[in-house]
């Protein structure tokens, strides 16, 4: 299924799954079920993580749950691997992805987005003790990325850097590998990286003016052809942003308003 979605994203597959409208708006489905099932990885702190009580918590969890509640629905949090998360949405395994997904033009061909609900940008983090200072210092290095993220594709396009690009399941694994010295740098969004620094991880962000993707829209994905569901979720999100709820959630998990 992941390979199918990948093909669709690159424009290779133009089959009925992409072109056929939904039989009925998903808003009717979630209202009938009384719940909104929300997918995320659970491996992207501070946006989603598993706490000591084995609960899935984080910024994305709180945002998704609040949207569901404002729609009169019970939130159901589902964790899944990032590299198959779009395939799961299209297969109907959950209703939406509130998982810090960049709303790229290619993804918009496959799914619709509510939001954006925050903005972030690409960054490179290295061990705190690293002497690397410039982009050239990273040439030929081992670079860690999350499988299926836009950063993976970007890293593989930097042919002049001669990087050994290595893929991992999520941020905790990336930080572990970086800390153990198995990779020289990781390419991630800046906010979770800064949060890791604040949490005491021995890493630092490089100041690289050549790096692309400084202020990207992060959206909430739903299946195409569901304007009523999109409108209901957008209304809930707008309400959170106007009444102070969004800011409280953002400050709680990130330390600032990141909209």
Average pLDDT over residues 90-95: 97
Question: pLDDT, tens digit, for every residue of 165-203?
Answer: 999 999 999 999 999 999 999 999 999 999 999 899 999
Share of residues in the chain with pLDDT > 70 (%): 89
Q: At 224, is the pLDDT very low, low, confident or very high (cuts 50, 70, 90)?
A: very high
Q: With bands split at pLDDT 50, 70 and 90, how would you rate the model's confidence at 216?
A: confident
Q: What is the pLDDT of residue 23?
A: 57
253 or 20, greater pLDDT: 253
Please check whether residue 218 is in contact with residue 44, taking contact to mean a CB–CB distance below 8 angstroms: no
**pLDDT tier at 22, thresholds 50, 70, 90:** very low
| Calpha distance 1→164 (Å, rounded) | 27
**pLDDT band with cut points at 50, 70 and 90 for residue 140:** very high
Percent of the chain having pLDDT more than 90? 83
Residue 162 has what pLDDT? 97
Q: Which domains does the chain have, with CATH numbers?
A: 2-120+215-253 (3.40.190.10), 122-205 (3.40.190.10)
pLDDT for res 123: 94
Q: Token pair for residue 161?
A: 């850097």
Terminal CA-to-CA distance of the chain, rounded, Å?
A: 33
Instruction: Name, in order, each residue with C-beta under 8 angstroms of 232's C-beta and a sequence gap of 6 or more.
Output: 27, 71
pLDDT exceeds cutoff 70 at 247: yes
pLDDT score for 257? 93
Kindly report whether the global pTM for this prediction surpasses the value 0.75: yes
Residue 133: its pLDDT value, please?
92
Write down the pLDDT at residue 209: 73
Structure tokens at 169: 């399941």
pLDDT band per the 50, 70, 90 thresholds, residue 17? very low
Q: How would you write the chain as a 3-class SS string? A: CHHHHHHHHCCCCCCHHHHCCCCCCHHHHHHHHCEEEEEECCCECCCEEECCCCCEECHHHHHHHHHHHHCCCEEEEEECCHHHHHHHHHCCCCCEEEEEEECCHHHHCCEEEEEEEEEECEEEEEECCCCCCCHHHHCCCEEEEECCCHHHHHHHHCHHHCCEEEEECCHHHHHHHHHCCCCCEEEEEHHHHHHHHHCCCCEEECCCCCCCCCCEEEEEEEECCCHHHHHHHHHHHHHHHHHCHHHHHHHHHCCCCCC
């Amino acid at each position: 299924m992941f390979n199918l979605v990948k093909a669709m994203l690159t424009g290779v597959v133009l089959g009925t799954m992409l072109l056929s409208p939904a039989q009925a708006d998903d808003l009717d489905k979630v209202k009938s079920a009384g719940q909104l099932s929300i997918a995320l990885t659970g491996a992207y702190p501070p946006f989603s993580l598993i706490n000591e009580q084995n609960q899935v918590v984080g910024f994305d969890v709180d945002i998704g749950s609040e949207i569901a509640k404002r729609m009169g629905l019970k939130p159901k949090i589902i964790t899944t691997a990032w590299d198959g998360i779009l395939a799961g949405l299209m297969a109907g395994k959950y209703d939406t992805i509130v998982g810090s997904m960049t709303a790229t033009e290619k993804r918009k061909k496959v799914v619709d987005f509510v939001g954006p609900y925050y903005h972030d940008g690409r960054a490179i983090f290295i061990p705190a003790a690293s002497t690397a200072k410039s982009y050239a210092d990273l040439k030929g290095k081992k670079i860690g990325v999350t499988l299926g993220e836009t950063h993976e594709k970007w890293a593989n396009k930097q042919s002049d850097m001669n990087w050994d690009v290595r893929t991992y399941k999520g941020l905790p694994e990336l930080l572990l590998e970086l800390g153990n010295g198995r990779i020289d740098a990781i390419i991630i969004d800046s906010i979770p990286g800064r949060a890791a620094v604040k949490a005491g991880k021995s890493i630092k962000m490089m100041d690289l003016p050549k790096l692309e993707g400084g202020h990207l829209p992060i959206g909430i994905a739903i299946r195409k052809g569901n304007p009523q569901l999109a409108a209901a979720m957008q209304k809930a999100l707008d309400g959170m942003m106007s009444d102070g709820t969004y800011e409280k959630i953002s400050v709680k998990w990130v330390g600032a308003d990141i909209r």
